[in-house]
Every structure is written in structure tokens, then in C-alpha cells.
Chain A
């Protein structure tokens, strides 16, 4: 009989791939690399989630997104509802779906990951948020009843945007003061268009404005106004979300030669100032042919992939440890490799060589080997004697980290900082050593992630609300 045959085992649906621009095409443009799920693939992927009773994934998310909840709505084809569910706890889902290191957070603890591949939480998050943005009828909640209290938010990065959104919904009169001419922090000046389209950030900022948040750009707090002057003007509390925006250099000979950039400058010129569209946009950038990027983090990957798109023949990562220790997301390293980035690992620059016009022509490097583990648990690179060699370059991007910018601490008496200049907070609430002054994001933790900065903004919003409800 026909029915005698053993029923074939239900085939496991694999994790749905995200379509991408082919690597040879995308290196010639700045458009986003992954193009997003279709409705069909999104539903297929969403159905992989087994809707755990005790979902581990939520614990992996710093802002406690109801992951099974929003995924179920996608599986049911209720995309707008899924987006609204996300927005209950995450003010910037279109951003987080793209740039969260999901493999270390929500997806790391997804039960399906134990045996096979985890649910693609980030891709689904992106899908739902994009669907809502593209549908164009983003609903604006009815304005909250004003409670008569004013809060100043310094810095319009993910931390500042999050707290502003939370507080305005509670009826506060919120003004963000942003140093640059555009709101978004690293999302607009640092992360390139090909990873995070600026239109998405703009839409999120517009949404906040519609909620009633006021944004004053070109306002450098500490110069235009001090924190004390903000209080004098009538603000009841101040949140500092100024990021860790100062570049670190290695202080090796020749580092000020022409053609040598900090990653902050290189990326700011390209992203914020749109130098990749020069001369349509006025800001120039050096379009090097042989570009070396120093460092192994996300910032280094963003810089080196930008260099390729600006027309480099050779774009090389110089990193002093091995690929295993690289802090960059695996996906980014993979993308960089596909695009033709070269990796010089276990290599450390010791000097830059220049020509008579003071333009960089070479990086003198030293080979390294891995020794004993250091404080971070990673094996410490030690130089190999007599191993120096020169890599010819015309452009260098130094991406070895950032540190605290002192403008606000230096102009705010009584604001405690630690020995690296980061602002000290009492606990997760973000309260600083000054009454009514809270801080969160990179300026407290040092360079971290978008979602952690948002989480800090969220907690500080709660704390400020409690503080101002008391008084």
C-alpha cells in the first residue's frame, strides 16, 4: 500500500538568509549591503521560533524586547502590530535590528542555537521596523499631559534619543542639546550608510520631534551653556549622553603626517559630511589608492570598507593579534573579506614614513606573536625581534579606540569622573555625583554598543521620573 511508506520526517526549515548586494557591485556604492527580508521569508523565519514558555532570548536583550511576542505577530502577518510591540521597549528597532551584535545577545541564548541555528531575531526586528516605516503611517501617540517639568538632554546619540522619547511620553518638556548640526550621534557620523542608512535614523529623529521633543543642534554644552546654566535656565534635571567621542592615537613617530586620519575624522567626513559625494557635497576626503587601517574592531571594519568604496586598490587591516581576538562582529569581518579587504594580522605599526611634502608613504610595522593572556583574557601580543618591514601606503586610518571628551566634565564643577575621564555614576540609574545630573551610554561605560547606550537612557529616564516626582 502507498501508506506503508514511512512518513518523511518533517524537514527542518533552515535559518532564512538575508539577500545581499553582490560583493563586486557593492564595493562601488554606499548603498546598504543586506537588502532585507521579503514578507514571505520573514514569515518563514518567524515560524521557526518555537515560542518558548520561558524564552531565554529575552534575557539576552539589554532592553528586554518581547521577542517571542513580536515574532509571533510577524508569523501571523501582523507586521505593523509587530513593530508596535517592538517599540514598547525599544525606541529604535530599525537601528537595532541592523547594528546590534545579536550573536552575543538575543540570538546567543536562543534555544534553537543549542542544536542548530538560532532564530534570526535581528533580521526580523529590522523587517518589522522597516515595514512600518515604509507603510508611512507611523502612528503618533496622543501627547502626554504636560507635567510642567523640564529636562535637558545633552547629546543626541542613542542614549540621549532614548531618554528623550521616554520622558516626553511621561509629560516632560524635553530639550536635546546636540553639538553637531545633526542629531543621531555615532549613528549619523560614525556608522556608514552601507550598514545603517541615514534616512532610517532621520525617520527616528523625526518621530521624536513629532512626540514633542525639542532638538537644539549646534549647541556644545560646556561652551554655549554650562550644565549649571541649564539649571539656572529652569531645567529640573540634566542627562549627559555625550558619548566617548575623542579619538585615540598611538603616539608613534610620523602620526601627524598628511594622509593620516583618525577613524572619527575619516568616517565623519564620509558619513556626516557626505564626502563620498564630493563635489556635490563640499567636504573633501582623501581617496587613497593604498589604504591601511589600524585596528580590529567594528570601527576599523567600517573604515576599511569605506576606503574600498572610495576607490582604494589595496585596503588593508593591520591588527596586532589574530582573527580570533578581533573585537569586530564576525559578520563585518566576513563582509570585509568578501569585498577584498586584506588582513595583516599579528602586525603592529611602529612608525610612519613620509615624503618631502609631509605626506605619508609607508607604515613601518613589526611582526607580533601571542604570549601570555592579559587582563582581558586575550593573549598579549609581543613583538618579534628584528621583524620590521614597511607597507607602502598613501592613506592611513587609525582606529584603535576612542576616549572621553573632557568638555562637559571640565565645565561642570563637582561632577566626578574616573581616571580615564568617564563620568562616575552611583548605580544603573545613572545618577552622578551632582544632584539632578544623570549620565549614560559611552560616556559612562567607555565605547560599548548602541543597545547598551539605549538601555542606560531607559534606566535614567525611570530614575529622573522618580526623582522629579518626589520633589
Chain B
């Protein structure tokens, strides 16, 4: 159980893995995530289920290497097994035919938005997707996104590929071109989601974001993941992870994500010393 079936580097620090988890694969729907623990002494981290294959009994995850746990995970190989995989967690995305939807992913957020775009397309929506990265080599899932979108626009911050600029500028252009947009899905780094919400708010375009707050149990037991939405406290793991972006207190989310910054650095350094020192 919990075996890594496949591992592939998508870019410099983004890894795709296929995990053996038959029960979760059967049940999972777009928008849900897992909690995994790499080894006995590991921490529990949430990662979105990017894709699943009920027949093969597998799940796909795509993660960015940012700290200790993701570094340790990236060091594992096909055939290795994780100590724990729990899921599917969180509420599935509400999938309906809304009309014209715009799916926006930034960085590793493209992995998170991909299953939504696929499900929305299947439900009959016209899907325009905007995916972005700092530079061309960091761009992921372009081919996959193209397949599930009626139109795909690529943007890079440095202009090395596609539109030169942020995904928010692409969205602004679409709006300026008087495209009728029924819904926006915006998933990526917190500052990106915040800017995108600011773009759509004046036009009253409903904008769904997926929040990445810190989690422990992910079953509503601890409250580590609490966020403020419309002035009310919500637990991302059981009330989310998707929320109405116009109601989210992004400043609070940003602060809470920094809560363990010092320990995270220490943890990564300890890990690297151990790996290098053997």
C-alpha cells in the first residue's frame, strides 16, 4: 500500500508522482486532496489529487519542493512506499454547466486547477484556461491543460514563453475584450489569488479560490487550517478548500502560513545535513 508507482520531474523543482491507493482512487472527485506522511516520524502534509485512475487504483499528485517534507518526498523513488496516505479529503468542487468559465493556475497551482478544468469541461462548460509561471522551464501541464480547454493562454513573468506578464493581466485583457465570463477559478500562490480576486471583484464575476492553509488532521479536529471568509471563521479542510475569493481574508492567510517559518528552515537544514553527511 501507498507505493510510489511512477515518479517524474516536471520542472526544476516540481515533481509528479503516481501513488497506489485503490480505495481513495475509487472515491475521489475533482477538488479533493490527500494528507500524506512520508515516514514514521514525518509530518502530515496536504496535497491535491490531480488525477485518479479507479481501475488501476492510483492517484496522481504534483508538488513543488519547498521544505523538509516535500524535499524528502522528492528524494523517494518509484517502488518506495509512503508510511501514510489519507483521503479523499475536503469537499469536491461544485461542478455544473455554468457557461463560460476561466480556469487560472499559477506555478504548481496549475496541478490543482487541472482536475477542475477537466471536470468543468466534461460538464459542458466553455473553458478558457490561463496558466502561468515565472519562466518557460517552470511551466507545467501545458499539454494536459490544452486538452481540457477550449482556449489556453500561457503567460510567463519574464516573457520567455507566451504572454509576457502575469496571469492577472491576461484575465484583465479578457474582461476588457468584453468576454462574458460566468465564473473564475483562481489557484496558485496567495498573492496571485489575491490580485485575481481584485481584478474580478469590480465586475461581480464569481471567483473561486482553493486555499492552502497549514493542516494537521484535515478532518475538522484541530482548527490549524482556520481562515476567515466573509468575516466568519472556517476550517479549510472541512468547509473548503474552495471558497468565494471575494470574501477571503488573504492577509490573515498569509500571516498564518508564516507561523512556522523558523522551524521549517531549521527542519530543512537538519534534513540536508543528515542526507549530505550520511
Contacts and interface: CB of A to CB of B under 8 A. Distances in A.
B267 A282 contact: yes
Given A258-B258, A264-B222, A274 B41 contact: yes
Contact of A358 (B23, B226, B256, B270): B256
A255 B267 contact: no
B67 to A, nearest CB: 9
Contact of A407 (B24, B219, B266): B219
Given A224-B88, A249-B233, A282-B43, A357 B255 contact: yes
A220 B252 CA distance: 29
B85 A218 contact: yes
A273 B216 contact: yes
Contacts of A256: 226-228, 233, 252, 256
Interface string A375-418: 00000000000000000000000000000011100000000000
B89 interface: yes
The listed residue with most B CB atoms (<10 A of its CB), out of A218, A264, A282, is A282
A209 interface: no
A249 B223 contact: yes
Contacts of B37: 181
Contact of A279 (B85, B227, B233, B266): B266
Nearest to A277: B41
A405 B235 CA distance: 12
Contacts of B6: none
Contacts of B252: 256, 358
A245 B41 CA distance: 23
Given A256-B226, A279-B270, A405-B219, A225 B27 contact: yes
A265 interface: yes
B86 A265 contact: no
A66 to B, nearest CB: 36
Interface in A253-297: 255-259, 261-262, 264-265, 268-269, 273-274, 278-284, 286
B264 interface: yes
A177 to B, nearest CB: 11
A247 B44 CA distance: 19
Contacts of B238: 406-407
B251 A181 contact: no
Contact of A259 (B44, B228, B259): B259
Nearest to A280: B41
B223 A265 contact: yes
A265 B224 contact: yes
B27 A405 contact: no
B221 A268 contact: yes
Interface in B85-121: 85-89
27 contacts: A181-B37, A181-B83, A181-B84, A220-B86, A220-B89, A223-B87, A223-B89, A224-B27, A225-B27, A245-B221, A247-B223, A255-B233, A256-B227, A256-B256, A257-B255, A261-B223, A264-B223, A265-B216, A265-B222, A265-B223, A273-B44, A278-B263, A283-B216, A284-B267, A286-B259, A357-B255, A407-B238
Given A218-B84, A220-B219, A245-B219, 5 more contacts: A224-B23, A259-B259, A273-B44, A278-B267, A407-B220
